[in-house]
Structure 1
Amino acid sequence: MRPNKNILSYFLIPLFVVCCHMESTAQVKFFVAPDGNDLKPGTKEAPLATLTGARDAVRAYKQTNALRSSIEIIVRAGHYEMTEPLVLLPEDGGTSQFPIIYKAEEGSKPQFSGGKKLSGFKVNDEGIWEAKIPECLYYNWRFDQLYVNGKRAVLARTPNNGFLKIGGVKQNIWTRGTGRVAEKAEQVLSFDEANFLSLQGITDEEIENVRFRAYHKWDFTLRFIDKIDRDSARIYTSGQGMKPWNPLFKGGRIVFENYAVALDEAGEWYLNKAGMLYYIPRIGETPENTEIIAPVLENIISVVGDAKNNKLVENIRFEGLAFSHCHYRMPRTGSEPNQAAALINAAIMLEGAKNISFTDCEISRTGQHALWFGKGCSYSKVEHCYLNDLGGGGIYLGDFAPQKGDEHTHNIRLHNNIIQTGGQEFPSAVGVWIGHSSDNEVSHNDIGNFYYSGVSVGWIWGYAESNAKRNQITHNNIHHIGWALLSDMAAVYTLGKSEGTVISNNVVHHVHAYSYGGWGLYTDEGSSDIVMENNLVYSTKTGGFHQHYGENNIIRNNIFAFAKLYQLQCTRVEEHRSFNFERNIVVFDKGVVLQGAWKKIDIHMDNNLYWNTTGDHYVFNGESFADWQKSGHDVNSIIADPYFKDADKYNFKLRNKRNVKNIGFKPFDYELVGVYGKAGWIEKAKLPAAVTKAFDQEVDQNMKEK
């Protein structure tokens, strides 16, 4: 029987259309390998060598082909020494349907380094390694960080541990200017004989490269010195005038670094003006088994769009890639004190970007912050990434000033990340910083081992309009914050009007400041319309909660446990309602319950439970509980055992709900916080025992000194 031509046409035409569609949407792939060459086509057999080469190959492809499928840049395992940042412009993006994907080959973790491996080390008669770095001698290349076998080495410093103490501070203003801070000034730091002795060995030739780190309140000053007066034991330095609210002061702590006689301990390094690098090895290190890397690039990736003119970089994904060795070079003007280290940049900088994602990536061994979604970024995410050993902070969102329209940063999701061990160069940096940015989600992250704050939300001091609104900080584990180094800090810190912001279901613990501060949750200047609920906060210095000043905040259904000095604090008295404090459990074994302006401030405080695990000593701002209740607060609150299973060992599960029911407390499962997934990922989030032990030792020493 002959087939009917019409019937054949009926079947063959759609089949032809399907085949053509499959061909037009076939996956486009470019390959990158350590032994590749950017002059090659980027095929599996002839791979490219760099991310920049891959970007250029994608550009060339898009010029002659319509984007009918996503484009994958598949990166093979190995070490890639980058000689320039990967710069992505609007023409380098994809579409929501067909993104551009930079991804690791399955089962691999390619390592991209912005540094240069150093070699040629010899061991001198004193056991110190030394190598001549020609680029330093002939091209004035300098580096401020050094990494030895994957660990950050210590720039030669005095003292090796602890601090010198400033004997006195005098300021000579050179240019006043119009602001509260002088535009140009000289500071003269004087020392007593004991504290100046270790500086006598600084030679005249190396004075211009000697630096100091002076720690004061919530910040620090990083400067070069201008001269030394050995007869009067004085150090001269110049830059901006000191901030009146946060100056250098008599008795302040200071460290000097970057000079030859300070090189006296294993793990320290020093680079002199003649380009000679010196390093004292740690136990077991030999020139043969040691990799030494000096950072070169100040950015690893720059995503540069223009949101104002609707020229965005869009729809790019990074998956499974590791980036390290990004340099921070201290300018000759030094680094003036700036809260949250907000004036330095990041290894990965984005502006004018939309739908950009980082998944399963790693950023480590940086001189500055890890990643910054700056002005005009939106609808992007960082998930399941490991950020560690950071000179600055982890992830920063938004800008310093409120931006309007398309330049406003919003809707960034930070989820299931490990953000740890930051502030190694800039101790005032934070784990997650949200400036003028809204509608962001910070959830299920592990944020630990920072010297200032874990999460900072808002960037307005007072009640001026802020666009840091509707941010969600939930289910994070925020811990080992402060290290008794800086003051006036917290695990979660807020500023300004923040309508719709919710801080909930977080576990916050081990927070300790140098002097004042060291809170779990801290609503600072102008913090308003924030809800803090279902948080577990324990082992802090001066309180699980503190409000400096703000309006209409709600603090409810939290557990605050075992602060060392005061359990709760409030400071400024204002005419409006400052906050409501309801259905909270406060457990302690030392210190007082309340400290501050509690009887004068406008608050609603009721249906709370208080319990001293070691006795019947309860001090409510200098009064007994009964007298405190007579003021009209906590009328329906109770002193009662919450019946935790083992509060002394930080087990806050309830073995009996009888008493907490009486205040309307609703139990929440605090074990659901932090990162989740495979066992190895969860294990990686645990700080080494040596780190947590060192934290406890710093806390104990600080409490003895206070």
Structure 2
Amino acid sequence: MNHMKISSAIGLLLVFLIYVTPMAYATANQVKENGRTIYVAPNGDDKSEGTIDQPLASLIGARDWIRKHKKNNGATGPVTILIRGGEYEMLAPLELNPGDGGSEEAPVVYKAYPNEKPVFSGGKKLSGFKVNELGIWELELHESRYYKWRFDQLYVNGKRATLARTPNEGFMHIGAVKQNDWIKGTGRAVEKAQHVFSFDEENFSHLKGIADEDLENVRLRAYHKWNFTMRYLDKLDKDSAQVYTSGGGMPPWNPIKEGGRIVFENFAAALDEAGEWYLNSKGILYYIPLPGEHPENAEVIAPVLDNLVLVKGDAANGKPVEHVRFEGLSFMHCHYAVPPSGAEPSQAATMINAAVMLEGANHVDFVDCEISKTGQHALWYGKGCHNSTIERSYLHDLGGGGIYLGETRAHEGVNHTSHIKLHNNIIQTGGLEYPTAVGVWVGHSSDNEISHNDIGDFYYTGISVGWVWGYAESNAKRNTIVYNHIHHIGWTLLSDMAAVYTLGKSEGTVISNNIVHHVHAYSYGGWGLYTDEGSTGIVMENNLVYSTKTGGFHQHYGENNTIRNNIFAYAKMYQAQCTRVEEHRSFDFMNNIIVFDKGAVLQGAWEKIDIAMDNNMYWNTGGEKYDFNGKSFAEWQKFGHDQHSRIMNPRFKDPENFNFEFSSKKTIRRIGFKPFDLDASGVYGEEAWKEKAKLPESILAAFDREVKVNMEKE
């Protein structure tokens, strides 16, 4: 080979090295950066390759594909599971362990295929109903007859059916309650006891039709103060009009009393109204159809799985599940079985679990997801969860609550749950099986952000923060509750509740720029903002609170809380309350506007409590009466409070119709009030998303009717 040929060869090699090698390197990097994409489809097969033409069939199949891929290839970059639209019947929950996660550079993403909606159901479709001579649908379930399969929820044509109950509307009322102590125990409440409920003839008439073969299924639901108790019956004595149950002794601070409200459910004689169902002990399912429903084309689903997603990391031993993202997925039809012991009183329904349960999870996110038709809570970040986000997700039609953070017992170190962000979600229509559940519950958990959510249509509380009663140390600190829309809470069912409820030492917690309205309790309570036992170091500012029962604000007892620059409007009984007198500074109440048309301005221990209260504005749109805890404004000022406050029209544009924009800001400058943006709260984004957050007019009207009836009894 001559020199020219050698030079040419070298030149060509250099060109290859300069141009081709970088391209190959870039392609390799791109593969590593983009990772692997696998596909899941309703017509797939979990034994397939997971390609778009040969998709897998389930989330579990996708998880197992990733496990096998990691075993054979090691961690080779991010993995995206693209899931085609359609319905998926889950035969088991998706369970993720530490090895199923990813990393910041290589996350694992379970994601809906573009513009498609995959729906994962934990239920079983039922078919083959016959119509009996009464027009009632009947179906013999062999699994129930021979294997004792039972379920406590049922869904017909996309709606939660009503378990047969009596009375159909309202309540029976207890004539007398007797407790026979069996095991005293060491706590304030008796450990084990028998309870005997007596009824007058009119109330007991609802129970006379209970057949002996149905007795083992019958349950009672008794509502008392902020709680409810569910029990199976031990004995029904029709001669004496008495019902016998057993369980934990009644808590002395919240017992079931004479005159208490109660319903009975789950027996054949109560099956008497369209939309009700009952499964008897012989495995026969009965359903009374709603108008227009026909068995040949109805979709009837009984929930089977207790959970749909389980994330099980081990934070304490450095083995969390990390960097997993769920996007665009819907989960529904998740069962919660009533235990044989029923349900003992439990504030915030913390005794039940969730459709999606997480423990030891870091950066495990849910975006654009939906969870609905559950027997329990929607989603729970338990111990050892951090730095995770639920965003733009729709949680609704829930047997329990929406999102729960932390646990009922405190954990230290990495097992302490913190830094969870709940942002721009719709959390609505919950507590349908367990009415004490709440929209968002923060137990022993800190540094969380709850922002721009729409939380509505719950029976107890919208957002609950803290889980220590009194001044013992609490690690529920620095939580931020901002720009939320919280509304239609209470429904006159329970008492001692609020839209935003706090407990314990919560230094650094901020509750601001929320819009709160339509909060109504059965008896006492029904507040907008409620600092309960030991609430400490909380700032509540720039909130609009209107149309509550007993006040925009109430403090039971606490220390060094700040209530400033809020608008409290149109509570029906009192505008603001406080209760316990303590030796320390309880709270500062500054630069607030209170506007009303009835009831007292202040009620409680205002003259005795240690507070700083000034530069507030009060205005009665219904007349000239101003009741400051039984005193005139001038008499109230003699206690040293409100020295620079004003009785003055704040110049809202149309407060009677809940328009609290200012027609003029000149007046409010006199108290140093700083206007805040009333349009900034709640969900945001596309119009369809904002429209979805609006409760149907039928629900709004029903709430108003319940409030009217309740107030007529006061």
Q: Could you say whether these structures have the same fold, taking a TM-score greater than 0.5 normalized by the shorter chain as the test?
A: yes
Counterpart of 1:193, as a letter, is E
For residue 288 of structure 1, the aligned residue among 267, 287, 296 is: 296
Alignment match, 2:520: 512
Alignment match, 1:482: 490
Say yes or no: does 1:119 pair with 2:127.
yes
Say yes or no: does 1:693 pair with 2:701.
yes
Q: CA deviation at 1:68?
A: 3.4
CA 1:23–1:580: 2 relative to 1, 3 Å: closer
Q: CA deviation at 1:70?
A: 1.2
For residue 161 of structure 2, the aligned residue among 138, 153, 156 is: 153
Q: CA deviation at 1:549?
A: 0.2
Q: CA deviation at 1:12?
A: 4.1
The 3-state SS of whatever aligns with 1:662 is helix
Instruction: Give distance in 2, aligned partners of 1:389 and 1:499.
Output: 34
Instruction: Give distance in 2, aligned partners of 1:20 and 1:513.
Output: 63
For residue 449 of structure 1, the aligned residue among 432, 451, 457 is: 457
Instruction: Give distance in 2, aligned partners of 1:367 and 1:6.
Output: 69
Q: CA deviation at 1:508?
A: 0.1
Alignment match, 1:654: 662
How do 1:307-706 and structure 2 match up within 5 A? 307-706=315-714
How do 1:69-84 and structure 2 match up within 5 A? 69-84=77-92
In structure 2, stretches of 5+ residues that fail to align are none
Alignment match, 2:30: 22
The 3-state SS of whatever aligns with 2:636 is helix
Q: CA deviation at 1:7?
A: 4.4
Alignment match, 2:219: 211
Q: What percent of counterpart residues are identical? A: 65
Counterpart of 1:59, as a letter, is R
Alignment match, 1:189: 197
Instruction: Give distance in 2, aligned partners of 1:514 and 1:12.
Output: 77
Q: CA deviation at 1:11?
A: 4.0
Instruction: Give distance in 1, aligned partners of 2:656 and 2:288.
Output: 43
Instruction: Give distance in 2, aligned partners of 1:646 and 1:46.
Output: 62
| Equivalent residues, number | 706
Counterpart of 1:243, as a letter, is P
Which digits, 9 at most, give the CA deviation of each residue in 1:368-388, with x for residues without a partner? 000000000000010000000
Counterpart of 1:4, as a letter, is G
Alignment match, 2:240: 232
For residue 297 of structure 1, the aligned residue among 288, 305, 310 is: 305
Counterpart of 1:576, as a letter, is H
Say yes or no: does 1:4 pair with 2:11.
yes
Counterpart of 1:703, as a letter, is M
The 3-state SS of whatever aligns with 1:670 is coil
Counterpart of 2:557, as a letter, is Y
Say yes or no: does 1:108 pair with 2:116.
yes
Counterpart of 2:265, as a letter, is E
Instruction: Give distance in 1, aligned partners of 2:21 and 2:139.
Output: 72
The 3-state SS of whatever aligns with 1:626 is helix
The 3-state SS of whatever aligns with 2:493 is coil
Which digits, 9 at most, give the CA deviation of each residue in 1:626-677, with x for residues without a partner? 0100110000000000000000111000011111000000000111100011
Say yes or no: does 1:45 pair with 2:53.
yes
Q: CA deviation at 1:215?
A: 0.2
The 3-state SS of whatever aligns with 2:594 is strand
Alignment match, 1:249: 257
Q: CA deviation at 1:289?
A: 2.5
Q: CA deviation at 1:172?
A: 0.5
Q: CA deviation at 1:17?
A: 2.4
Q: CA deviation at 1:604?
A: 0.2
Instruction: Give distance in 2, aligned partners of 1:12 and 1:104.
Output: 37
The 3-state SS of whatever aligns with 2:705 is helix
Q: CA deviation at 1:503?
A: 0.2
Q: CA deviation at 1:45?
A: 1.1
Counterpart of 2:512, as a letter, is S
Counterpart of 2:178, as a letter, is K
Instruction: Give distance in 1, aligned partners of 2:638 and 2:33.
Output: 75
Q: CA deviation at 1:14?
A: 3.0
Which digits, 9 at most, give the CA deviation of each residue in 1:548-576, with x for residues without a partner? 00000000000000000000000000000
Instruction: Give distance in 2, aligned partners of 1:127 and 1:22.
Output: 64
Q: CA deviation at 1:355?
A: 0.2
Alignment match, 2:267: 259
The 3-state SS of whatever aligns with 2:464 is strand
Instruction: Give distance in 1, aligned partners of 2:444 and 2:703.
Output: 32
Instruction: Give distance in 2, aligned partners of 1:70 and 1:320.
Output: 18
TM-score relative to the length of structure 2 = 0.98
Counterpart of 1:131, as a letter, is L
Instruction: Give distance in 2, aligned partners of 1:17 and 1:665.
Output: 62
* Moved >6 Å (runs of 4+): none
Instruction: Give distance in 2, aligned partners of 1:561 and 1:640.
Output: 14
